[in-house]
Amino acid sequence: MYQFAKWKYWLVIIVMVVGTLYALPNVFGEGPALQLSRNDRQAMDQASADKVQGLLDADSIPVEASYTQKDRLVLRFKDSETQGKARTAIASHGEGEYLVALSTASRAPDWMRRWGIKPMSLGLDLRGGVHFVYEVDVEGAVVQAIDRLERDTRTTLRDKRIPYGAVTTVNDVVRVSLRSSDDLSKAQDALKTPDGGIQLTTSQSAEGPVIEMRMTPAEVKRRQDIAVQQNITTLRNRVDELGISEPIVTRQAVNRIVVQLPGVQDPNEAIRVLGATATLEFRLVDETNNPYEAEQTKRVPIGSKLLKERDGRPILLKRDIIATGEQLSDATSGFSEGSPEVNVQLDARGGQSMLEATRDNVGKRMAVVYIEKKQLAQGERCEGQRNGDLCTEEKVISAATIQSVLSSRFRITGLQAVESRELALLLRSGALAAPQTIVEQRSVGPSLGQDNIDRGIRAMAIGLLLTFAFMAVYYRAFGWIANLVLFSNLILTVGMLSMLQASLSLPGIAAVVFHMGIAVDANILIYERIREELRNGNSPLAAINVGFEKAFATIADSNVTTLIAGVVLFAFGTGTIRSFAIVMTLGIVTSLFTSVVGSRALVHAIWGRRRRLDHLSI
């Protein structure tokens, strides 16, 4: 008889109970569902849930389950057909009050959901959904930065009261012509940047001194990185606004972004919203010149810009911009007196600029210019400036008279309900820092995802059954203990994936099968050491004790090296490679616990308590 601490028994029991509890929701599967969020960005309360339920009851659409999750209402249905009917009913009768996203929801009992016990997250290849790869125009981001530098240069010289002739950009170099050599040093001090990202050089021309401003190579790279990171942030915000659960938005290579939307069944809405670059500009209307004459003669007055209103009429706007979409801090859509509107809030800088502009121009008109950059489909026309497949459209969506002094809060009217919702969504999620185009698009249907799950489970089941058969035949009673430990290992791995909400993909299923082999290997090392001790003439109880003690060092060494490989894969891999690494790493941890602690607890419970033991079934 050898000693085995009682606390280890309790440790094994507690770990197995908790692991089984977290693994249990995966048994119930998932059903088609809708995720609803309020368009005014308020949390879904009971009144809103009752209103949605009333809309569905009116069309006799049954709901399997309804609950709120992260300020959203989740509705689960029996099948995809009922899900589609519910989406149509809410869209047609909801008066644009809700954002609706197709999704899936667990069929686990409500008490599990209330306790926060959820099934593990499934990747795109298992759940189905859409996969996009965007290529960011980082060179375009640099051009935009240089344009801003040109505008800021004019503003700085004007604020410092330094006379200048012209500010132009040639080959990414901003040239500032000064009127007098006496102003050269003052202009250099005013235009010098603290971080040294802008290089200033001076020269002499016939008109006077010239300052040339160009970005350093380090600043160019920094601007490109900022553009990609801001696009990633914007895409994440837009995905959240769409109500899509468990999205993946990551950077790939230097200028590419991977977006995976599991559970999305209609990619068209995602493409339209994610790929749109929408922003606003607020400008004063040029009331002194005739826009029709400018359109006919193709001669736009200096200091003005010719655009068109929504009805096609030409309009002249001042070139000076009061505020832009970059200065927006919030935007929500709503209704006022039955008409759609967008409530806009500017930051401190934009609010001050709006205050100064409207204070001096009460009674005059201010226009809201909507600027959208989008990727053109094959055969689609561009009503603005076209650069390859990228189209930039500018249109005046509102040109209203300034009735009073405005500040950081005001509203935009004259829009349709759908337009106001989309404009508010795009504005509050932020503008893309640089244009981006889709270079890869793949869709995985729910049926294909389920087929991948079935194939993966079938492969895993066959592998486990063959392993179980070998262990039972070769190691007899100890083989059955190894099989029970192996099954416990699988339960703990699934439970940990559910607890951590780590995404499981098809390579992740392969990692499960892989680490099962590692777990069996640990048991084989222990059992072979026990058999060796028996051959050396040790008693059965002593052989068990020595077998577990001596084999531990070998098991730890082999698992640590594999663990290092898993950590490296997770650190440097992306997407499905990370999924493989996570499952493999978790599997190594669980296999060490079950093979060393769990297996020893079972062996001790069966044979260790006997005072006299003459034979082991191994």
On the question of pLDDT at 124 being above 80, the answer is no
In whole angstroms, what is the distance from residue 139 CA to residue 433 CA? 11
Q: Are residues 452 and 484 in the same domain?
A: yes
Q: Are residues 13 and 70 in the same domain?
A: no
Phi and psi torsions of 199, nearest 5°: -95, 125
Q: Is residue 158 part of a domain?
A: yes
pLDDT band at 560 (very low <50, low <70, confident <90, very high): confident
Instruction: Please name the residue ranges forming H helices in 276-405.
Output: 291-297, 348-359
Q: Is residue 99 part of a domain?
A: yes
Phi and psi torsions of 388, nearest 5°: 70, -125
Q: Which of 188, 219, 250 is the last residue of a domain?
A: 219
Cβ atoms of residues 516 and 486 within 8 Å: yes
Q: Are residues 587 and 548 in the same domain?
A: yes
The enclosing domain of 317 has a CATH number of 3.30.1360.200
In whole angstroms, what is the distance from residue 149 CA to residue 198 CA? 10
Q: Are residues 582 and 528 in the same domain?
A: yes
Q: Which amino acid is located at 444 in the chain?
A: V
The enclosing domain of 546 has a CATH number of 1.20.1640.10
Q: Which residue would you say has higher pLDDT here, 230 or 377?
A: 230
Q: Is residue 565 part of a domain?
A: yes
Q: Are residues 487 and 471 in the same domain?
A: yes
Sole residue written with tokens 């950009």: 169
Q: Are residues 17 and 83 in the same domain?
A: no
Q: What does the radius of gyration of the chain's CA atoms come to, in whole angstroms?
A: 33
Q: Hey, which residues does 330 pair with through a beta bridge?
A: 345
Q: Are residues 76 and 178 in the same domain?
A: no
Which is it for the CA torsion 231, 237, 240, 246, positive or negative?
A: positive
pTM for the structure as a whole: 0.62
Q: Is residue 604 part of a domain?
A: yes
Q: Are residues 322 and 213 in the same domain?
A: no
Residue by residue, DSSP assigns 528-581 as HHHHHHHHTT--HHHHHHHHHHHHHHHHHHHHHHHHHHHHHHHHH--THHHHHH
Q: Is residue 545 part of a domain?
A: yes
Predicted pLDDT at 418: 64
Predicted pLDDT at 1: 47
Q: Are residues 560 and 525 in the same domain?
A: yes
pLDDT band at 575 (very low <50, low <70, confident <90, very high): low
Q: Tokens standing for 257? A: 């972004």
Q: Is residue 87 part of a domain?
A: yes
Q: Which of 281, 274, 267 is nearest to 249 (CA)?
A: 274
Q: Write the pLDDT tens digit of every residue in 247-271.
A: 778 888 788 888 888 766 666 666 6
Q: Are residues 466 and 579 in the same domain?
A: yes
Distances (CA, A) of 355 to 225, 323, 345, 350: 34, 10, 13, 9
**Parent domain of 329:** 278-364+381-414
Return the percentage of the chain with pLDDT > 70, whole number: 86
Q: Are residues 98 and 176 in the same domain?
A: no
Q: Is residue 132 part of a domain?
A: no
Q: Are residues 403 and 464 in the same domain?
A: no
In whole angstroms, what is the distance from residue 602 CA to residue 523 CA? 13
The enclosing domain of 184 has a CATH number of 3.30.1360
In whole angstroms, what is the distance from residue 563 CA to residue 554 CA? 14
Sort 222 into a burial class: Cβ within 10 Å, 0-12 / 13-18 / 19+: middle
Per-chain mean pLDDT for the chain? 80
pLDDT (average), residues 55-77: 84
- How many domains is the chain built from? 4
The enclosing domain of 49 has a CATH number of 3.30.70.260
Q: Is residue 253 part of a domain?
A: no
On the question of pLDDT at 465 being above 70, the answer is yes
